[in-house]
Structure 1
Amino acid sequence: MDLVRTDINEDEERRLFRKVSWRILPVLCVCYVFSFLDRTNVGYAQLQMRDELGFSDAVFGLGVSAFFIGYALFEVPSNMLLPRIGVRKTLLRILILWGLASAAMVFVETPTQFYIMRFFVGVFEAGFVPGVLYYLTLWYPKRRIAQATAIFYMSYTLAPILADPAAGAIMTWLDGALQLHGWQWLYLLEGLPCVPLGIMAYLLLSEGPKEARWLTDRERTDLEQLLSQDRAGHGHARMRDAVFDARVWMLGLIVFLVVFGVFALSFWKPTLLKGMGLTVMQVGLAATIPALFGVTAAILVGRHSDKTGERRWHFAIAAMVGAVGMLCASVFPQDPVMTIVCLTLASIGMSSAYAVFWAMPATILSGPSAAAGIAVITTIGSSSGAVAPLLVGALKTLTGGFTASLYVLSGALACASVIFAYYFRDGAAARRVASPASHTSAA
C-alpha cells in the first residue's frame, strides 16, 4: 500500500519531473514533427505537381484548406471521446490512419482527388494536438506544464529545420527513381513512418501516472499527490462549462490570428522563394534560416516568461515583432536575401508568441474539462489553416505576387498582439467571466 507523503522536497520533485519528461516528451515530439511534415509537405510538392499535373495556385489553396476543414470538423469530437477511449489507443488510431492517408497522396492525378485526399488527411489527424495537450495535464501541475507544453511546441518550430532541406533533397535526388516523381517520394517517405510511430507511442506511453510501471511506487505516489494538490478546487467540473467559457473562445481567436501567419508561410514560403530564382534545393536550405532563429527565440522567450511568470507582454511584444517582420518582407519582393532576413524576424516573433500562448490554457482549464476546452482552442486556431492558404492563393492570383498577402498576415499578428494585451490585462478576464477558475490570473 502506497503511503501519502507531504515532505517532497524540491530536488526530489525536479528529478521526478525530469524522469517523466524524458519518458513521454521525446515520443510526443517526434510524432509532432511528422505531423508538421504531413501538413506542410504539400507546399514543396506543389513545386513539381503544378507542372506535372497542371494544378493552379487556386487548386493548391483549396486543397490545403480542405485539410483544415476535415481537421476542424473532427477535432472536438475526437477529444471528447479521448477520456473514454484512452490516449494510447487514440494516438495509435490517429497516427496510423493519417500516415496511410498522407502516403496515399502518391495516387493523386486530378484536383478533385487532391481535395478529397487532403480532406481525409485532416480528418484522420484531427485530435492529435489537443489530445497531447490534454495528456500533458495528466502528468504536470500548472506551475510545470508551461515548460512541458513549450518543449512539445518547439518540435513544431524545429521541424522546418529538418523538413525543408529534406524535402528539397528528396524531390531532387529521388525524382524519377522507380518511375515515381519527386513529389510522390515526398509523400511516401513522410507519410509511412507514422505507422510505426503510432505503434511506438502505444507501447511506450502510459495512460497516466497510475499505470506507469516505469515509475517506482514512491515516485507514483509523489506524482499523484502533487497533481491532486494542484487540481484541488480549481478548473471546471464539467466539459460543458469549459466549452462555454468566454476566455476559451478568446484564446481561440488569438491563436487563430497567430497561426494565420504560421500556416500561410508554411505552405507558400517555398513558392515565394522559388519565384525569386532559387532552385528547389536552395529553397529548402534557405527556408531553414527563419526556422532556426525562430526556435532559438522561442526557447529563450518562453524560458524568461516562465521565470518571471509574466505572459501578457511577452506575447504581445513577440506578436508585434512578427507583424513588423511580415510587413518588412513586402518591401523586398525580388530580393531573396532581404526577404529571408524579414521572414526570420517574422519567425522569431511568431514562434515566441506561440510558445508563450500555450502557457495560458492551463491557467483556466484542468481535469476532464481540459480535453474539451483545449480542443475548442486548437480547433479555432487550426481553422485558420482553412482560410490563410486559400486567401494567400487567391490574392496571389489576383495581384500576381505576395505583397498583399504579407499585409494581411502582418495585420493579423498586430491584432493578436493588441487583443491579448487588452483582454488579459490584470484582472480583466476574471471580471468578465464568473467561473470556478476565474480567480486564476491570466496575465
Structure 2
Amino acid sequence: MSSNARPLEDVTGMAESDNRLFRRISFRIMPILWLVYCFNYLDRTNVAYAHLRMKEDLGFSDAVFGLGASLIFFGLIAFEIPSNIVLARIGLRKTLVRIMILWGLCSASMSLVTTPTEFYILRFMIGMFEAGLVPGVLYYLTLWYPSQRRGQPSAVFYTAPSCAGIVSGPIAGVFMTYLNGFGNFQGWQWLFIMEGLPCVALAFLAYFVLSDSPDKAKWLTVDERRRVQQLIQDGNAKHHTLDRQELLSVLRDPRLWVLGAVGFLMLISLFGLTFWQPTLLKGMGLTVMQVGLYSVVPSLCGVVASVIIARHSDATGERCWHYILCALTAASGLLLTTLFPTNTVLTLLCLCVTWTGLTSAYAMLWTLPGRVFAGKVAATCLAIITVIHGSAGIVGPYGLALLKTATGGFTISLYTGSALLVASTLLFYPFFRHRSAYQLKETH
C-alpha cells in the first residue's frame, strides 16, 4: 500500500514544484512584456487624440490623418517576417532594445511634424520599427512555457491593449490640457513626447530583467533551468514538423480563409472607430479632457463584457451564435449612434453597446483557430490569419476618412461599419453553424 502511495506523493510534489517554478518565471518576465505591449498600443493610437489639436495647428485634413493612421499597418505587415528572422538570430532582449528605442524615438519625433509628408514617413517608420513585437513575444513564450502552460501567460499578455485603451483617453486629456503651451510646445506635442520617450527607458529595463532563454537565466538555479528545458522538450516532442503536403491541405481548408475574412470585415470597423471616436466625440462640443474621460466608459464596457461572454461561451462550448450576436450588437450600436448627433449621453451609451459587441466578437473569433487547427498546423494558420486581420488596419482608418470627407460627417461611415459587421456574420454562419466545424482537430 505504501509502495503505491509513494509515487503518487512524488508526482504531486513534482507538480507543486513545477507550479512554483513557473509562477516565479511569470513574475519575472510577464510584467515587462505586458508593459511593453501596453506602451506599444499607446504609441500606436495616441495619434487619434493628438489629431484633435493637430488638425487645427497644422491644418491637416481628415484624409491626411486617415492615411497617416493607416500607414503604420503598411510598415507592420512589410517588416513582420524580417523582424522575426532577426529575432531568431539575436534573441528577444536585443530585439526589444532595437524595437523600443527606434519606435519610441519615432513616436516622440511626431511632436516635430509640420507637413503631411513628415507625418506619413514617421507613421510608416513607427509601424516598421514595431514590426515583429507581438509574434516575437509569442515565440519567446514558447521558450519558457510548455504548450499546456502557455495559455495563461498569453492571455495576460493580450490584456495589455484593452487596459491601455482604458487609460489612453485620460492620459491624453491630461497631457493635452495641462501641458498645452508649456515650454513652447503644444499639448499634442507633449502627448507624443511623454508616451514615446519612456519606451527608451523601458527598453533598457527589459534588456537587464529578461533573459533570452531558460539556459541563460542566472536568476534560476541549475536544476530549475534543466527542469524548464526538459518540460519544453517533452512538449515539443509530441508535435511533428509541418511538411509540404500538410501545408497544402491547410491552405485548401476554407475555414482558414473564412476566419481571416470575417476578422478583416469586423476589424475595419474596430480600427476605424479606434482612430475616429475621439474626433466624433469632440464634434459634439466636448473639450479634449472630456473626450479623454468619456472614452474610458466604452472601453471599460468592452473589456468587462468580453470576459463575461467568453466565460459563458466556454461553459456552454458554443461559439457560432456567441460571435454572431456580439457582431450584430456592435452593428446595432453603430446604427444607433447615427440617431443622436447632438446628444452626448445617448451617443456614449450607443458607443458602449458598440464596444461591448466589438471587443467580445473579436475575443470570440480568436477562440476558433486553436480549435479548428491544432498541433503542427496551428502556427502556420495563425500567421496567415494575423496578416489578413492586420490588413484591415490599412483599410479602416483611411476608408472612414475618405467617407467622412466625401459626406461631411460620420453617418455614412457608421452605416458602412455596421454593414460590414452584418456581412461578417453572413459569411461566418454557413461555415461554423455546426459545432463539428470547430471541434478540436489535430493532424498526426
Query: Smaller-chain TM-score range?
Result: 0.7 to 0.9
The yes-or-no answer on 1:237 pairing with 2:242 is: yes
The yes-or-no answer on 1:115 pairing with 2:129 is: no
Give the superposition deviation at 1:220.
4.1
The one-letter amino acid of 2:442's match is H
CA distance in 2, matches of 1:384, 1:42: 18
CA distance in 2, matches of 1:56, 1:222: 58
Give the superposition deviation at 1:22.
2.4
The alignment partner of 1:214 has SS state of coil
**Greater mean alpha carbon deviation, residues 360-369 or residues 262-271:** 360-369
- Select 2:57's aligned residue among 35, 48, 52: 52
Q: Deviations over 1:275-315 (max 9, x none)?
A: 11111110000000011121222233344555666554444
TM-score (norm 2): 0.86
**Alignment check: 8 A CA contact 1:95 1:195 kept:** yes
- Select 1:72's aligned residue among 70, 77, 80: 77
The one-letter amino acid of 2:11's match is D
**Alignment check: 8 A CA contact 1:99 1:192 kept:** yes
Give the superposition deviation at 1:20.
3.1
CA distance in 1, matches of 2:369, 2:145: 13
CA distance in 1, matches of 2:37, 2:370: 20
Q: Percent identity?
A: 49
- Structure 1's 413 and 146: CA in aligned 2 closer, same or farther, altered over 3 A? farther
The yes-or-no answer on 1:41 pairing with 2:46 is: yes
Matched with 1:201 is 206
Gaps of at least 5 residues in structure 2 are 1-8
Matched with 1:395 is 403
Matched with 2:11 is 7
Matched with 2:5 is none
Give the superposition deviation at 1:103.
0.7
Matched with 1:272 is 280
The one-letter amino acid of 2:53's match is Q
- Structure 1's 19 and 61: CA in aligned 2 closer, same or farther, altered over 3 A? same
1:2-401 map, 5 Å: 7=11, 11-234=16-239, 236-237=241-242, 245-246=250-251, 248-305=256-313, 311-362=319-370, 364=373, 370=379, 374-401=382-409
Give the superposition deviation at 1:243.
9.6
**Alignment check: 8 A CA contact 2:70 2:398 kept:** yes
Higher helix share: 2
CA distance in 1, matches of 2:105, 2:387: 23
Q: What is the RMSD computed on CA atoms of the aligned residues? A: 3.1
The one-letter amino acid of 1:259's match is L
Give the superposition deviation at 1:193.
0.9
**Alignment check: 8 A CA contact 2:58 2:115 kept:** yes
CA distance in 2, matches of 1:83, 1:6: 37
The alignment partner of 2:144 has SS state of coil
Gaps of at least 5 residues in structure 1 are 431-436
Matched with 1:433 is none
Give the superposition deviation at 1:367.
7.4
Q: Deviations over 1:101-138 (max 9, x none)?
A: 11111221111111111111111111112222232333
When Rg is computed on C-alpha atoms for both structures, the one with the higher figure is 2
CA distance in 2, matches of 1:232, 1:421: 36
TM-score (norm 1): 0.86
CA distance in 2, matches of 1:231, 1:309: 27
Q: Deviations over 1:260-285 (max 9, x none)?
A: 22211211001000111111110000
Q: Deviations over 1:359-408 (max 9, x none)?
A: 445553667983x6544433322221111011111111122211221222
CA distance in 2, matches of 1:221, 1:156: 34
Matched with 1:434 is none
Count of paired positions: 430
**Alignment check: 8 A CA contact 2:45 2:275 kept:** yes
- Select 2:442's aligned residue among 418, 439, 443: 439
**Alignment check: 8 A CA contact 2:374 2:442 kept:** no
**Alignment check: 8 A CA contact 1:423 1:429 kept:** no
The one-letter amino acid of 1:206's match is S
The alignment partner of 1:276 has SS state of coil
Give the superposition deviation at 1:221.
4.6
